[in-house]
Amino acid sequence: MPQDSTTRYFWLSGQRAAAQDRFFREALEAQGWVEGDEAHWDAAWVTGMPAPGQFRRVSPRRKLNHFPGNAALTIKSRLHESLSRMKARVGEGVGEEGEGHPLLSRLTFFPPAWVMPHDYHALQRAALAAPERRWILKPTNASKGKGIRVLRDAAEAPVSPNWLVQAYLDRPHTLRGHKYVLRLYVLISSLTPLRLYLYHQGFTKLASEPWDPDDADNPYSQLTNPDINALNTRVEVPVEFIDLERYRAWLRDQGHDDDALFARIEDLVALTVISGVDALRARTAEAGADPRGGYELLGIDCMIDDDLKPWILECNLSPSLDTCAAPEDGGIVEERIKGELVRDMLRLVDITGESAPEPGDDSVSALLAEARAEESRAGGFKRLLPSVSPERYLPFFSLPSLADMTLAEALAGYALPRPRLARRRVTELHEADSLALYAADTGRLYRPNDAAALIWLLATEGLDPDAIAEALWAASTEPLAPGALRHQVWETLGEWCRDGLLCQTEAAVRDASDRGEPVRADVIADAEPATWKLRHAGRAWALRVADAAAEQRLVEAFDSGLEPLLAEEAGQLPPLSLLAAPAGYTLAEGRRVVASRLTLAEVVPALSTLLLRLAARSGEPVLDVACWQPGPRDMMLLAVDDQACRETLASSLGEGLSHGARLALQDGIMHVEPLGLPFTGHGHMADGGSTERGATSFRLVTLEARQDAVSVGLSPQTRLDALAALLPRCHTGEGGVPSADLMTRLDAWLEGIPRHTLHLAADDPGLFAELARLNATPAGEVAAEV
């Protein structure tokens, strides 16, 4: 078939009915496209999966409607494995809190499942422990409801491969007495960075007979698949579809909060796709496919239980675009929605390739421009990823790609915490200067080269990927370009995280949980919250306080920095809010949640920490440390994490203790400016954030609570240990990690001051005496030349 430079060809393929191609064909023929064949195409529409060689032909201007590796989501057993693997990885990252951690609590939307025959005995043990439970048996890779049935007895499960048994969800929400499932249309438009959309319309698929929990053998009561219910000759309407707009209106009429339900559904969809993105990226690379030439439309089925909690049932490849319902039973609306869905999808993915990005351009501006242009073409699709609150989702990746981080940060408009990693199911083997890594889960032995071994060492010591790249660049005699080196570090760590050698740590998860979350709808504020003008470190905010109890605490702690807010200032000052939430208090900066679930005792420390971070300036970082000034010319910087130690410190040192210090460079000399913030919930702000530079004697003391310590014990601290202690406490004016230049200045400053580590039992009464004794020792000059 000859192909000229102006004619565009589409190719239709796969095992499908003509109805499955109809809307794709109509949309392109209306734009002058002509049908081609497997050798001549600019846009391919394949039901099922194409031959592997076709993936090597895709490009930003030649689009195919699949990605390699989509089986991680679309085969039932693989979907269960993907979700379970993500839950296990996140669980190891959050540490001892376990199932009660907020991130893990969001991963309860998929029912327990067992893959045959490997999990057969585990299934029988689960059935023995829950004799009243029912089970649902599904073939792992079939469609249209084939082979699905409810089991009263798990012993009936086959031991042959390709079967999945799930715990049966036996409390479904019903619509007019009928069980139903929601069909959602989900579009992956980009793999790296991951961009994900949910279509505003979809369908409620009803079982054709009323729900009867005692009639487990009746598929027309228990199952909602239209291909099964179409066989029911006992009812007048075997297949009925209700579109999501009417479904949501019905929920509201029943007194339900449809917005809350669909917020949970959006969370379910985003987390489900994240669970499979590693496999999609890895298989796409192995297939030699350009990911910019692929996209994937998925049909996700969710059941809603009687508590209005959504559960994912399956994720369908090449979801049916045929019209299943009769015209009078929703078929007319079904046909219209599916036609609009395909037309909106083709515009969004730029099927013509007219807006294709320049190859190899992964700059911030290019990623941002592409994402914004794509969203402008989205029609009825809503972008879920990157999220407007990226911190809600980044911890669920094994490791976000550099492009994921770059785009999320650009869209959010503020700096995001970088992931930190820890060893996971890996054994390190050493011989002389060589390192090998053995992954017990896969039996694979990794032999990293010298550069990769150094990346491993730095990552397992707690440095984030960008800090590792900066460290390598600073240490190399013949460094790569900074951008190339950064990309190499992220790629290397990404491979190890995908393979399970590393996982994001509790610290990364905590940072992501505490920052950037949008103010929730269930935050409850008083009808007339008090509003104050809060001043600190040369800045001012309009502070709204939820109730009298919190107001009293804040007035006591920040008295010198609080004053009545004038009416003309109300709209001029940036807002801070302390809101009463169902569980404690929520602190927000503008529309961004800074900390949530605060007790009343935690309100002052949380606001103090926020003001500390906001006090950083360009080139003048702040340190999250305690400042003790036992005399007018003496200052001791105290780095402490343990809460019991903090309380002991506060009770021992009293009024001379404050929170935070800024490091300012003047005439080549690093000066320390105490920020004067309250150190604990019972502390007081000193002089509204004084920046006096009168101290001439400085010391740095790192306090470490030791289980085996019965009394205080002092030891010298190396400069690098001090630097490591300060690095996580250092906040820059730019909002990101400290620059290499700043690290060098910190290092030089530390060289000029005395440094100590104080080991103590948390409640040791001798703490004050030991610090006083240390303070009496001559300390040297106030500052170090930089």
Is residue 786, in this structure, part of any structural domain at all? no
* 713-747 pLDDT per residue, tens: 778 888 888 888 888 888 888 777 788 888 888 88
Same domain, 428 and 543: no
Which residues lie below 8 Å from residue 596, measured CB to CB, with a gap of 6+?
A: 514, 517, 581, 583, 584, 586, 587
Six token digits for residue 550: 């919190």
* 313-335 pLDDT per residue, tens: 999 999 989 887 778 777 888 89
Same domain, 345 and 228: yes
The whole-number pLDDT of residue 744 equals 83
- CA dist., res. 379 & res. 344, Å (int): 6
Same domain, 647 and 588: no
What would the mean pLDDT of 771-783 be, rounded to a whole number? 55
Indicate if the pLDDT at residue 586 is higher than 90. no
Same domain, 626 and 584: no
Is residue 43, in this structure, part of any structural domain at all? no
Indicate if the pLDDT at residue 689 is higher than 60. no
Last residue within a domain, chosen from 484, 513, 542: 513
At residue 207, the 3 state secondary structure works out as coil
The whole-number pLDDT of residue 749 equals 84
The whole-number pLDDT of residue 696 equals 57
Same domain, 157 and 227: yes
540, containing H or E segment: strand 539-545
- CA dist., res. 697 & res. 679, Å (int): 21
Which one, of 341, 271, 278, lies nearest residue 65 by Cα? 341
Indicate if the pLDDT at residue 260 is higher than 90. yes
455, containing H or E segment: helix 450-460
Tell me the pairing of strands 517-518 and 592-598.
antiparallel
Which residue segment(s) compose the domain that 272 sits in? 73-362+379-386
Indicate if the pLDDT at residue 556 is higher than 80. yes
Instruction: Taking each helix axis as running N to C, give the angle between helix 740-751 and helix 719-726, from 0 to 180 degrees, rounded to the nearest 10.
Output: 130
Is residue 393, in this structure, part of any structural domain at all? no
- CA dist., res. 773 & res. 451, Å (int): 46
Helices (H), 60-200: 71-74, 76-94, 102-105, 120-129
Last residue within a domain, chosen from 513, 530, 557: 513
Last residue within a domain, chosen from 459, 481, 513: 513
The whole-number pLDDT of residue 768 equals 66
- Of 133-137, 152-156, 390-394, least confident by mean pLDDT is 152-156
Is residue 28, in this structure, part of any structural domain at all? no
Q: Which residues pair with 658 in a beta bridge?
A: 627
The whole-number pLDDT of residue 20 equals 83
- Of 105-114, 195-204, 222-231, 703-712, least confident by mean pLDDT is 703-712
Same domain, 168 and 273: yes
Across 308-333, b (16+ Cβ under 10 Å) vs e yields ebbbbbbbbbbbbbebbbbeebbbeb
At residue 91, the 3 state secondary structure works out as helix
Six token digits for residue 435: 């390192």
Which residues lie below 8 Å from residue 149, measured CB to CB, with a gap of 6+?
A: 136, 137, 219
Q: Give the CATH number, domain containing residue 493.
A: 3.90.930
What would the mean pLDDT of 370-391 be, rounded to a whole number? 94
Mind giving me the DSSP string for 590-648? TTEEEEEEE-HHHHHHHHHHHHHHHT-BTTB-EEEEEEEEEETTEEEEEE---HHHHHH
Across 682-709, b (16+ Cβ under 10 Å) vs e yields ebbbbebbbbeeebebbbbbbbbbeeee
Indicate if the pLDDT at residue 706 is higher than 80. no
- CA dist., res. 298 & res. 277, Å (int): 14
- CA dist., res. 103 & res. 392, Å (int): 9
Which one, of 505, 606, 515, lies nearest residue 554 by Cα? 606
Same domain, 346 and 445: no
Q: Which residues pair with 435 in a beta bridge?
A: 430
* 463-513 pLDDT per residue, tens: 899 989 888 887 776 667 778 889 999 999 999 999 999 999 865 444 444
Is residue 57, in this structure, part of any structural domain at all? no
Which one, of 124, 412, 143, 174, lies nearest residue 301 by Cα? 143
Six token digits for residue 654: 């009293």
Same domain, 702 and 743: yes
- Of 171-180, 354-363, 588-597, the range with the highest mean pLDDT is 171-180
Same domain, 323 and 180: yes
Is residue 158, in this structure, part of any structural domain at all? yes
Confidence of residue 690 (pLDDT cuts 50, 70, 90): very low
Is residue 33, in this structure, part of any structural domain at all? no
Higher pLDDT, 730 or 55: 55
Quick check: 221 and 211 in contact, CB under 8 A?
Answer: yes
Mind giving me the DSSP string for 237-304? -S--EEEHHHHHHHHHHTT--HHHHHHHHHHHHHHHHHHHHHHHHHHHHHTT--GGGB-EEEEEEEEE
- Of 394-408, 495-509, 569-583, 744-758, the range with the highest mean pLDDT is 394-408
The whole-number pLDDT of residue 69 equals 96
What would the mean pLDDT of 775-782 be, rounded to a whole number? 50
Q: Which residues pair with 312 in a beta bridge?
A: 302
In the chain, the number of structural domains is: 4
Q: CB-side exposure of 248: number of CA atoms within 13 Å?
A: 15
Quick check: 259 and 521 in contact, CB under 8 A?
Answer: yes
Same domain, 194 and 258: yes
What would the mean pLDDT of 447-469 be, rounded to a whole number? 91
Same domain, 354 and 436: no
Indicate if the pLDDT at residue 384 is higher than 80. yes
Indicate if the pLDDT at residue 517 is higher than 60. no
At residue 690, the 3 state secondary structure works out as coil
- CA dist., res. 180 & res. 394, Å (int): 32
Six token digits for residue 464: 């984030």
Indicate if the pLDDT at residue 783 is higher than 50. no
Indicate if the pLDDT at residue 127 is higher than 50. yes
- CA dist., res. 574 & res. 587, Å (int): 14
Same domain, 161 and 292: yes
Is residue 9, in this structure, part of any structural domain at all? no
Indicate if the pLDDT at residue 692 is higher than 70. no
What would the mean pLDDT of 558-562 be, rounded to a whole number? 83
Mean pLDDT of the chain: 84
pTM of the model: 0.66
* 614-639 pLDDT per residue, tens: 988 888 889 989 888 777 677 888 88
